Amino acid sequence: MENDLQNLEAEIGSALAAVADTPALEAVRIKYFAKSGLITSLMEKVGQAPKEQRPVLGKQVNEFKGRVNAAFEEKKSALESKAEAAGVDETLPGRPVPAGSLHPIYAARDRAIAIFRRLGFSLAEGPDVETEHYNFDALNTPADHPARNEGDTFYLADQSLRLAADGDRDRRGRLLLRTQTSPVQIRVLEKATPPVRIIAPGRCYRRDEIDATHGIAFHQMEGLVVAEGVSLAEMKGTMELFFRELLGHDLKFRFRPHFFPFTEPSFEVDASRPGNLVKGKEWLEICGCGMVHPKVLQNAGIDPEKYTGFAFGFGIERIAMMLHHVNDLRLFTEGDARFLRQLSPAV
Ligand code: DAH
């Protein structure tokens, strides 16, 4: 019995020593000091001891209780004065910390990235502030192309700005905010030796009238595959597989001949699906693509006799609108948390 008391006292002593806050103290109280705690069960043992031992035992137990109770009270007041000194009332409920979440545009981007990663694509990036060379010339865009107008493209008022890293060394043409992610094609090809298989998501800028489907800053995802013997069939298969994974396996496609200066032949991809992707529209234009123009390969120092490739580009806002059945792009940037919360659950 005496041993039991000693052991328990040592145990309580180290439990109290380890207590650092009120909840921990409460746990110690419940384990040892409460009605159903270990001290009470020890007291019950005293009651069961032979009659002649009880007076001695009782005295020991009372002294034991005196000591452990005092130790408990001492710890309690030490904690209280610590909290007071820190100006903290530990009995108040905590303040909720709002958890952030990924913006739906970026969540859509990440879904697209995940699919392309499974198809063996890696990520590439380029700067938002570009040169005319990368954004237009190297992409085989003629000097009189309408997209180059000051009415369509944001040229930087301060042309003395220095570009990050190597972009500044061979700066050609005026500085502008990139109108598409396509310049990343050139930046990647200049550095890499094929095979190249990349996607490049990023922000783009255009001097558009803002409406339900146009913003002046938006996101695109560019794709580029260059290797020996890359065919149009591979392009078509890649596009179909990607969009079916993203938007539904019942998607139908239409590859409409189109014109882009940096691809030949070029296509616009329309998709359609039973029940429609967007209300009231059977076919929706979702992507531009084509076989990389030999001049583009040449401009980036790649031999077009040896290598072929395909490229594609699509708007991420448009994807997010389809994924969430949102019909006005502006909702994404108004910052109304009630709207955003519905589309991206807290992480
Ligand atoms: N850059 C084009 C645009 O902004 C989209 C695009 C079309 C990208 C065809 C490509 C492509 O890589 O091959 O409209």
Summary mean pLDDT of the chain: 91
The whole-number pLDDT of residue 165 equals 58
Ligand 1 atom closest to Cα of residue 181? 1
Give CA–CA dist 116/121, Å, rounded: 5
135 lines ligand 1 (CB under 6 A): no
DSSP annotation of 15: H
* Tens of pLDDT, residues 279-314: 677 899 999 999 999 999 999 999 999 999 999 999
d(CA 287, ligand 1 centre) in Å: 8
For 213: left if phi > 0, alpha if psi spans -120 to 50, otherwise beta; the answer is alpha
The whole-angstrom distance between residue 104's C-alpha and the CA centroid of its chain comes to: 10
Give CA–CA dist 157/332, Å, rounded: 28
* Tens of pLDDT, residues 199-251: 999 999 999 999 998 999 999 999 999 999 999 999 999 999 999 999 999 99
d(CA 48, ligand 1 centre) in Å: 89
CA angle 85, 91, 97 (to 5 degrees): 95
d(CA 263, ligand 1 centre) in Å: 9
Dihedrals phi, psi of 207, to nearest 5 degrees:
-85, 65
* Tens of pLDDT, residues 65-80: 889 999 999 999 988 8
Is the predicted pLDDT of residue 167 greater than 60, yes or no? no
Is the predicted pLDDT of residue 330 greater than 70, yes or no? yes
DSSP-assigned states of every residue in 287-319: EEEEEEPHHHHHHTT--TTT-EEEEEEEEHHHH
**Closest to 148 in 3D by CA, of 161, 129, 135:** 135
The DSSP bridge pattern shows strands 196-205 and 175-177 to be unpaired
Ligand 1 atom closest to Cα of residue 220? 4
Average pLDDT over residues 334-347: 83
- Categorize the per-residue pLDDT at 194 as very low, low, confident or very high, splitting at 50, 70 and 90: very high
d(CA 38, ligand 1 centre) in Å: 74
* Tens of pLDDT, residues 81-121: 887 788 888 788 888 888 888 999 999 999 999 999 999 99
d(CA 276, ligand 1 centre) in Å: 24
DSSP annotation of 261: T
d(CA 27, ligand 1 centre) in Å: 64
Query: Helix 54-85 crosses helix 2-17 at what angle (to 10 degrees)?
Result: 0
Give CA–CA dist 98/47, Å, rounded: 55
Sign of CA dihedral 103, 109, 112, 116: negative
Residue that is written with structure tokens 């990235």 in the block: 113
d(CA 260, ligand 1 centre) in Å: 7
CB 129 within 8 A of CB 205: no
> Closest Cα to atom 8, ligand 1: which residue?
313
- Categorize the per-residue pLDDT at 49 as very low, low, confident or very high, splitting at 50, 70 and 90: confident
Q: Which of 177, 236, 238, 289 to mutate to test the pocket of ligand 1 (most atoms within 8 A of CB)?
A: 289
The whole-number pLDDT of residue 347 equals 53
286 lines ligand 1 (CB under 6 A): no
288 lines ligand 1 (CB under 6 A): yes
Higher pLDDT residue, 219 or 39? 219
309 lines ligand 1 (CB under 6 A): no
d(CA 257, ligand 1 centre) in Å: 13
Give CA–CA dist 322/328, Å, rounded: 11
131 lines ligand 1 (CB under 6 A): no
The whole-number pLDDT of residue 265 equals 98
289 lines ligand 1 (CB under 6 A): yes
**Closest to 283 in 3D by CA, of 314, 252, 259, 261:** 252
